[in-house]
């Protein structure tokens, strides 16, 4: 097994996909850093101060005003209300919800990358892990060795898990190192709040906990990793089922994009919560924003994702070991 | 390609894989941990005001403070700030805490917030518009302007107003406070005359409350909108339009002293 | 002494959907022999080979490699097998050496010593560290053979080994396969749709069409009694007349006359011709071509 994993890692590195992914993430991080920097600047100009309390207060007033508008949907109103209460809570407890610094940038980057960017990057690797062997024809060599097929596939899957771990790590490192140039390398010790519960329209703050940002980040990373593994496993399955890398990627891409769109409009279609793609924003539960569909919480989303994960893995192994190779 | 590199990358990957699994476990555990180990405390210590540069303007109140109806989005507050900037050549920091539809009881609540207090503390000029929603209640005031109701509402309003002014003065005893009075948007409608009477009375009482506090100046606007009111109203026939806001801003500006 | 059987196939069948693609193949391979698998495209050669190497599961029938049933003892059976199915598709982004390393890791007990050995054996030693994408087709073919030989297999299965090679490459490959069979004692199964290739390369041949073997025999036996004698006579017309009075003749476009090859009668015919004053300019013994044989066996089904 060890040797098989070595083989897969060798191929993974030789393909230089990870380098490409690192480059993509790097460029995006630079873009986001610049955008964030600009945003801070305009905010400073608008408010005439760097004082975060003023900014939060202003934000609260802005949200309150938006709430009074009759043009916004009920759903959006609910989200705003929760966000409002949360901001107020931060302000009342004198905690900056977005302490400037590379570590906060990293947190925001992770929270926004969890349902699109990271899954996309994982897909780049996962979707051709198996199908490339088919399209290159090397599968014929791979499967005519005295090694059981499930072992071959397992070595590929373990390699995928490694690659996912690396991608998440790369995203973390790059977002910290590159944004730190602008925002400064600090802020791991700053406090952050977690444990907000959303019940109906109100924010339940009974279980709110104070955490150091580094602890919060580690948890965020864990959740991002979990999501990446599930998405990776699904595109891994497609890679086994569909022998064309492009087709597999297309299907997965469509699923991810539809997830992003659906999250904004499925509030009335309740059974949509069993789709994997609306359950990807796990970090939101940590932060305490309203879920897209009533009744979703961390354990629900994780169970849904786990079921999808297990099914995908099962299908991959059954199909791969049973299928004739032409 | 170097075989050591493969080993190294694999080792790093294994390390991160374990680290992330740990993070995941921790996240789940933390999310479901019953008792928070470290409960955040409300702080009552007001943090120090950062070094002031230029003038601080704090605007409190309702949609008039927000500037509803002004196509430029500035409202009288924005216009006024522009004017101050031009006159003093100093940077002006504006904190607009106006909330659309706010009534005096809501402002009373808002003003007790710690952060709002802190904002008031550092203010050089404080602008207030309130009462319009108490009186007109989104047009409902039109129907029952004669009823006894008004008296009850006004009484409550005046006590709120008093509280608000006390609160402002408690936080800041130096700044000039400009309290912008009401105009009658319904002056040209049926019963406009009767309504005007109510508004005038309302303004008079408000001015009385203001007068009880030092440096709280009541700024009348009733006369501004008395003639040709529709030229100065937004299409909702309630809020001022750009021109209307200009008028209010000019009036307040004329009262500013340095 | 009968040589040991290394690959044994019994009543192999494959049904896809409702169509029976392979309809019961039975054959054996012996140590040190090159076995040809001949048939037109679409006859079922590739499907059969893929079943032999474990890529496709047979619907019924058994395959034994060195005594191990491929369905039950997959690992032990495959341990004794080396193969190239169709083109040797290797990882283009890895060096030749890393490709071999990759496959050696999948076979127990194959170390770097063996990699060096097979590299030398196929003559790739000086290019082994270059990426495979820089290799020519011939070099890829040799690298393919090298990977097939890594595990010291008893049975080597080559699907169309000379496909896409130039004439020099074909000759080289042919010599190499003969060397492996004769000197190393391997059983080699070669599939081809080219008759000439099988004829020159194989000891025995199975002719397959539409999923069935219509004949399995040694090449010599298949070809005996089908040899021809080619004559060039001067003057042509008179020579033809004399010869046709002696036996059945065939006229060829290039001015040659063909008769049957009959060792006892040929001196007599020759003598008759000479006596009739005809100069025999050339006499050639013509080996038959499998084309004819194939036509004969399949009753007119053409092959490429």
Domain ranges of chain A: 2-50+98-322
User: Which residues, 6+ apart, have CB-to-CB distance to C257 below 8 Å?
Assistant: C230, C231, C232, C233, C239, C240, C243, C249, C250, C251
In this predicted structure, what is the pLDDT of residue A33? 92
> Taking all residues of chain B, what is their mean pLDDT, rounded to a whole number?
84
Average pLDDT over residues B51-55: 67
Q: How far is B18 from chain C (nearest CA, A)?
A: 26
Touching check for A325 and chain C: CB below 8 Å? yes
Chain B environment of C95 (Cβ under 8 Å): 1
| A181–chain C nearest CA distance, Å | 36
Is ipTM beyond 0.90? no
Q: Does C98 touch chain B (CB under 8 A)?
A: yes
Which DSSP helix (H) or strand (E) runs through B219?
A: strand B216-219
d(CA A270, CA C189): 61
Candidates B50, B100, B114; nearest CB to A68: B100
Give residue A65's pLDDT.
82
Nearest chain A Cα distance for residue B56, angstroms: 9
| Mutant choice from C52, C63, C79, C91 vs A, greatest count of A C-beta within 10 A | C91
Question: Which DSSP letter does residue B233 get?
Answer: B
- Which pLDDT value is given to residue B163? 92
Cβ distance C209 to C39 under 8 Å? yes
Rounded to two decimals, the pTM is 0.83
Total tally of structural domains belonging to chain B: 1
Which chains have 3+ CB pairs within 8 A of A? B, C
Q: What is the pLDDT of residue C189?
A: 92
Least CB–CB distance from C107: residue in A142, A146, A322: A146
In a domain? residue B41: no
Instruction: Name residues whose C-beta falls within 8 Å of residue C273's C-beta, 6 or more positions apart in sequence.
Output: C233, C239, C242, C243, C280
Q: Do A5 and B95 touch (CB under 8 A)?
A: no
B248 is a domain residue? yes
> Which of C72, C90, C105 would best serve as a mutation to test chain A binding (most A beta carbons within 10 A)?
C105
Ramachandran area for residue B149 (φ above 0: left; ψ -120 to 50: alpha; else beta): alpha
Distance from CA of B2 to the nearest CA of C (A): 10
Residues B221-246 have a mean pLDDT of 86
Residues of B in contact with C94 (CB under 8 A): 1
Residue-wise pLDDT tens digits, B1-19 = 577 888 999 999 999 999 9
Average confidence score pLDDT of chain A: 87
CA distance A125 to B43: 49
Helix (H), strand (E), coil (C) string for chain A: CHHHHHHHHHHHHHHCHHHHHHHHHHHHHHHHHHHHHHHHHHHHHHHCCCCHHHHHHHHHHHHHHHHCCCCCCHHHHHHHHHHHHHHHHHHHCCCCCCCCCHHHHHHHHHHHHCCCHHHHHHHHHHHHHCHHHHHHCCHHHHCCCCCCHHHHHHHHHHHHHHHHHHHHHHHHHHHHHHHHHHHCCCCCCCEEEECCEEECCEEECCCCEEEEHHHHHHHHHHHHHHHHHHHHHHHHHHHHHCCCHHHHHHHHHHHHHHHHHHHCCCCCCHHHHHCHHHHCCCHHHHHCCCCCCCCCCHHHHHHHHHHHHHHHHHHHHHHHHHCCCC
| Residue C304 confidence (pLDDT) | 43
- Categorize the per-residue pLDDT at A156 as very low, low, confident or very high, splitting at 50, 70 and 90: very high
Q: What domain range includes position B142? A: 55-255
CA distance C282 to C286: 12
For residues B210 and A70, which has the higher predicted lDDT (pLDDT)? B210
Q: Which two tokens stand for residue A100?
A: 């400037």
pLDDT in tens, A14-27: 988 899 999 999 99
User: Considering the domain boundaries, does residue B228 fall inside one?
Assistant: yes
Chain A contacts of C85, Cβ < 8 Å?
Answer: 140-141, 144
* pLDDT tens profile B190-229: 778 888 888 888 899 999 999 998 889 999 988 888 888 8
The residue of chain A with its CA nearest to that of B50 is A51
pLDDT value, residue C211: 85
SS3 C195: helix
Smallest Cα distance from C131 to chain B, Å: 10
Is residue C23 within a helix (H) or strand (E), and if so which, with residue range? Answer: strand C19-30
> In the structure, what pLDDT confidence band is assigned to residue A227 with cuts at 50, 70 and 90?
very high
* Burial label, C226 (beta-carbon count in 10 A; 0-12, 13-18, 19+): middle
- Residue A95: the pLDDT is 82
Query: Closest approach of chain C CAs to the CA of B16, in angstroms?
Result: 25
User: Do residues B212 and B159 lie in contact, with contact meaning Cβ atoms separated by under 8 Å?
Assistant: no
Q: What is the mean pLDDT of each run of 10 residues along chain C (304 residues)?
A: 81 89 89 87 85 90 90 90 85 91 89 89 88 88 89 88 81 88 89 81 87 83 74 85 84 82 84 87 77 68 49
Q: How far apart are the CA of C94 and the nearest CA of chain B, in angstroms?
A: 8
**CB pair distance less than 8 Å for A207 and B36:** yes
Which chain A residues are Cβ-neighbours of C54 within 8 angstroms?
Answer: 143-144
From chain A, pick out residues whose CB is under 8 angstroms from the CB of C53.
Answer: 140, 144
Nearest by CB to A51, from B26, B28, B50: name it: B50
* A102-145 residue pLDDT tens: 888 898 899 889 988 999 999 989 988 888 888 888 888 889 88
Distance CA A171, CA C81 (A): 45
Instruction: Pick left, alpha or beta for residue C86 (phi over 0 → left; psi -120 to 50 → alpha; otherwise beta).
Output: left
Tell me, yes or no, whether B46 lies in a domain.
no
**Nearest residue of C to residue A3, measured between CA atoms:** C105
Q: What pLDDT score was predicted for residue B12?
A: 94
Q: Does residue B174 sit in helix, strand or coil?
A: coil
Chain A CA closest to residue B13: A162
pLDDT value at residue C299? 64
CATH number at residue B173: 3.40.50.1110
Which residues from chain A sit within 8 angstroms of residue C57, using beta carbons?
A: 322, 324
Identity of the residue in A61, A194, A219 whose CB atom sits nearest the CB atom of B23: A219
Q: Report yes or no: A13 and B8 within 8 Å, Cβ to Cβ.
A: no
pLDDT digits (tens, 9 = 90+) for A184-223: 888 788 888 877 777 666 677 777 778 888 888 999 999 9
pLDDT for C303: 47
Chain A positions in Cβ-Cβ contact with residue B101 (cut-off 8 Å): 68
- Residue of B12, B95, B98 lying closest to A166 (CB–CB): B12
Choose among C54, C89, C108: nearest Cβ to A136.
C89
Report the pLDDT averaged over residues A4-33: 92
Mean pLDDT of B83-106: 86
Q: Is residue B151 part of a domain?
A: yes
Neighbour subunits, C (≥3 Cβ pairs < 8 A)? A, B
pLDDT at B142: 61
- Which of B1, B32, B116 is opposite residue A14, by nearest beta carbon? B1
Residue of chain A minimizing CA distance to B98: A61
Domain contains B135: yes
Note whether B93 contacts A49, CB cutoff 8 Å: yes
pLDDT digits (tens, 9 = 90+) for A158-181: 999 999 999 999 999 999 999 999
- Ramachandran area for residue C185 (φ above 0: left; ψ -120 to 50: alpha; else beta): left
Chain B residues whose CB is inside 8 A of the A219 CB are 23-24, 26-27, 30
What pLDDT shows up at residue B151?
A: 83
The average pLDDT across B231-242 equals 86
Asked if C145 has any chain A CB less than 8 Å from its own CB, the reply is: no
Partner-chain contact A9 B16, CB within 8 Å: no
Q: Using N-to-C axis directions, what is the helix angle for B3-32 and A149-183, rounded to 10°? A: 80
pLDDT average, residue stretch A223-231: 94
Substitution target in A3, A17, A144 with the highest count of C β-carbons within 10 Å is A144
User: Is B9 a domain residue?
Assistant: no
Q: With an 8 Å Cβ cutoff, are A222 and B25 in contact?
A: yes
Nearest-Cα distance to chain B for C134, in Å, is: 16
Q: Which residues from B are below 8 Å from C91, CB to CB?
A: none
Distance from CA of A117 to the nearest CA of C (A): 27
The Cα of A253 is separated from the nearest Cα of chain C by a number of Å equal to 27
Chains adjacent to B (≥3 CB pairs closer than 8 angstroms): A, C
Task: State whether B116 and A57 contact (CB < 8 Å).
Answer: yes
* Domain annotation covers residue B95: yes
- The pairing of strands C68-69 and C81-84 is unpaired
- Say if residue A70's pLDDT is above 50: yes
Phi-psi region of A187 (alpha: psi -120 to 50; beta: other; left: phi over 0): left
pLDDT band at B35 (very low <50, low <70, confident <90, very high): low
Best of A193, A221, A306 to disrupt the B interface (most B CBs within 10 Å) is A221
The answer to whether B22 contacts A222, with C-beta atoms less than 8 Å apart, is: yes
Alpha-carbon distance A242 to nearest alpha carbon in chain C (angstroms): 18
């Amino acid at each position: 097994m060890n040797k098989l994993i070595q083989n897969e890692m060798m191929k993974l590195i030789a393909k230089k996909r990870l380098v490409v992914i690192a480059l993509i993430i790097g460029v995006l991080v630079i873009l986001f850093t610049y955008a964030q920097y600009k945003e801070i600047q305009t905010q400073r100009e608008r408010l005439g101060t760097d004082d975060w309390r003023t900014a939060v207060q202003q934000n609260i007033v802005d949200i309150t005003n938006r709430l009074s508008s009759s043009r916004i949907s009920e759903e959006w109103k609910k989200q705003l209300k929760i966000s409002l209460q949360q901001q107020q809570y931060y302000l009342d407890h004198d905690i900056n919800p977005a302490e400037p610094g590379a570590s906060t940038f990293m947190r925001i980057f992770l929270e926004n990358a969890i349902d699109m960017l990271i899954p996309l990057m994982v897909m780049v690797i996962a979707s051709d892990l198996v199908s490339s062997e088919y399209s290159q024809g090397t599968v014929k060599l791979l499967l005519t060795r005295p090694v059981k097929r499930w072992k071959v596939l397992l070595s590929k899957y373990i390699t995928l898990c490694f690659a996912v771990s690396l991608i998440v790590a790369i995203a973390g490192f790059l977002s910290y190192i590159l944004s730190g140039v602008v925002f400064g390398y600090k802020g791991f010790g700053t406090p952050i709040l977690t444990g907000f519960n959303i019940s109906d329209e109100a924010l339940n703050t009974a279980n709110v906990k104070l955490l150091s940002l580094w602890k919060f980040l580690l948890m965020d990373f864990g959740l991002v990793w979990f999501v990446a593994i599930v998405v990776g496993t699904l595109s891994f399955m497609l890679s086994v089922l569909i022998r064309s890398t492009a087709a597999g990627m297309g299907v997965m891409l469509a699923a991810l994009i539809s997830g992003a769109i659906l999250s904004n409009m499925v509030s009335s279609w309740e059974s949509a919560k069993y789709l994997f793609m609306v359950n990807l924003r796990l970090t939101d539960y940590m932060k305490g924003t309203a879920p897209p569909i009533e009744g979703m919480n961390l354990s629900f989303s994780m169970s849904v994702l786990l079921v999808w994960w297990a099914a995908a893995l099962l299908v991959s192994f059954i199909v791969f070991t049973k299928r004739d190779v032409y | 390609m170097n075989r050591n590199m493969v080993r190294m990358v694999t080792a790093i990957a294994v390390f991160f894989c374990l680290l992330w699994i740990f993070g995941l476990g921790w996240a789940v555990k933390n999310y479901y941990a019953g008792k928070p180990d470290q409960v955040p405390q409300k702080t009552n210590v007001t943090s120090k005001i950062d070094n002031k540069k230029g003038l601080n303007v704090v605007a409190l109140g309702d949609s008039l403070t927000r500037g509803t109806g002004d196509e430029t989005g500035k409202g009288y507050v924005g216009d006024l700030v522009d004017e101050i900037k031009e006159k003093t050549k100093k940077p002006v920091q504006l904190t607009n805490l106006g909330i659309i539809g706010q009534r005096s009881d809501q402002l009373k609540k808002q003003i007790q917030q710690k952060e709002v207090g802190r904002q008031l503390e550092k203010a050089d000029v404080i602008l207030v518009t309130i009462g319009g929603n108490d009186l007109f209640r989104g047009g409902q005031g039109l129907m029952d302007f004669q009823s006894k109701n008004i008296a009850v509402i006004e009484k409550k309003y005046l006590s709120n107003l008093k509280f608000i002014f006390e609160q402002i003065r408690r936080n800041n005893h130096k700044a000039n406070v400009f309290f912008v009075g009401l105009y009658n948007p319904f002056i040209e409608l049926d019963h406009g005359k009767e309504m005007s009477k109510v508004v005038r009375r309302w303004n008079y009482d408000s001015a009385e409350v203001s007068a009880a506090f030092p440096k709280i100046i009541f700024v009348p606007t009733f006369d501004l909108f008395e003639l040709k009111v529709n030229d100065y109203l937004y299409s909702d026939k309630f809020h001022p339009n750009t021109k209307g806001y200009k008028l209010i801003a000019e009036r307040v500006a004329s009262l500013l002293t340095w | 002494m009968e040589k040991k059987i290394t690959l044994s196939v019994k009543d192999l069948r494959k049904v896809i959907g409702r169509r029976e693609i392979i309809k019961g193949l039975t054959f054996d391979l012996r140590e040190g022999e090159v076995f040809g698998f001949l048939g037109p495209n679409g006859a079922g050669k590739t499907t059969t080979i893929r079943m032999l190497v474990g890529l496709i599961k047979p619907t019924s029938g058994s395959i034994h490699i060195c005594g191990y049933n491929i369905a039950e003892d997959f690992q032990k059976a495959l341990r004794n097998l080396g193969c190239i199915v169709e083109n040797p598709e290797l990882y283009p982004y890895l060096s030749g050496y890393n490709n071999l390393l990759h496959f050696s890791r999948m076979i127990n007990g194959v170390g770097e010593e063996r990699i060096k050995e097979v590299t030398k054996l196929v003559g790739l030693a000086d290019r082994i560290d270059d990426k495979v994408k820089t290799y020519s087709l011939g070099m890829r073919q040799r690298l393919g053979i090298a990977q097939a030989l890594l595990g010291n297999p008893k049975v080597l299965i080559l699907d169309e080994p000379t496909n896409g090679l130039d004439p020099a490459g074909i000759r080289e490959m042919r010599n190499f396969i003969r060397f492996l069979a004769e000197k190393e004692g391997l059983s080699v199964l070669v599939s081809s749709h080219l008759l000439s290739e099988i004829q020159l390369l194989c000891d025995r041949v199975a002719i397959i069409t539409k999923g069935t073997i219509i004949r399995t025999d040694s090449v010599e036996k298949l070809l005996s009694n089908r040899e021809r004698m080619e004559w060039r006579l001067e003057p042509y017309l008179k020579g033809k007349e004399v010869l046709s009075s002696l036996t059945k003749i065939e006229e060829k476009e290039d001015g040659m006359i063909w008769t049957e090859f009959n060792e006892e009668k040929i001196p007599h015919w020759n003598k008759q011709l000479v006596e009739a004053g005809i100069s025999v300019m050339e006499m050639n013994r013509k080996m038959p071509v499998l084309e004819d044989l194939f036509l004969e066996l399949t009753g007119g089904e053409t092959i490429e």
